[in-house]
Chain A
Amino acid sequence: DTGVSQDPRHKITKRGQNVTFRCDPISEHNRLYWYRQTLGQGPEFLTYFQNEAQLEKSRLLSDRFSAERPKGSFSTLEIQRTEQGDSAMYLCASDPGGSGNTIYFGEGSWLTVV
């Protein structure tokens, strides 16, 4: 499978714990995006990388969130001291740098904070 891969697909955690999600983009895609989707909403932009450089962060990305893409390939999204409001689907997408119709999304990582 050569699509965008996300791991884990589902995570249940207790409030206050830290969680980390991993995204493996399509090979040689320079751009990598993280989005969050909650019930009844569309995906909301969190941050994106051009190779290893983090180019933009949404104000949705509080200081409890950190994203990295150390070698310009896979990326991690860590949430520290999780809160119930963090419960959502976290979507990763990659793009070779095209015009929007070349952005491919992974299947998402579901987070439930109890």
Chain B
Amino acid sequence: DQQVKQNSPSLSVQEGRISILNCDYTNSMFDYFLWYKKYPAEGPTFLISISSIKDKNEDGRFTVFLNKSAKHLSLHIVPSQPGDSAVYFCAVLRDDKIIFGKGTRLHILP
């Protein structure tokens, strides 16, 4: 039973354009959401988070949007840069542990 779903295994975006990564979750009781970024042969690193009391959180080029009624969140990266090529995991914090989606591999094209 997947509680966090990332339905796009991969995404290719031109450098300088906007990257939009999507995520759906199943439990309306979840109240804290996170995005992690992972390069090959490294552990995931925290990118940005959002609490359920907000619908948007911004940090530099990264913005996370939360639509509670749709149980959907998205990560926007603008402008996309070559170093953004990585796997991005959507996650929720539940009972003191992080539950991850399967990830979306983002390729930034030159």
A interface vs B, CB < 8 Å?
Answer: 4, 31, 33, 40-45, 48, 55-56, 91, 93, 99-108
Contact = CB atoms under 8 A, between A and B. Distances in A.
A103 B89 CA distance: 14
Nearest to B105: A40
A54 B89 CA distance: 26
Given A99-B93, A100-B49, A100-B93, A41 B98 contact: no
Contacts of B99: 45
B97 A42 contact: no
Contact of B43 (A40, A100, A106): A106
Given A100-B34, A101-B34, A105-B44, 8 more contacts: A40-B102, A42-B4, A42-B91, A45-B98, A56-B95, A56-B97, A107-B41, A107-B43
Contact of B42 (A31, A56, A93, A107): A107
Contacts of B32: 99-100
17 contacts: A40-B9, A42-B4, A42-B6, A42-B103, A43-B89, A45-B97, A48-B96, A48-B97, A91-B44, A99-B32, A99-B49, A99-B93, A100-B32, A101-B34, A106-B43, A107-B43, A108-B41
B25 interface: no
B43 A42 contact: no
Q: Which of B46, B95, B98, B101 has the most CB of A within 10 A?
A: B98
Contacts of A40: 9, 102
Nearest to B51: A99
A31 B96 contact: yes
B43 A101 contact: no
Interface in B32-81: 32, 34, 41-46, 49
Contacts of A103: 46, 98
Contacts of B98: 33, 43, 45, 100, 103
Nearest to A9: B41
A55 B32 CA distance: 21
A43 B44 contact: yes
Contacts of B43: 4, 91, 93, 105-108
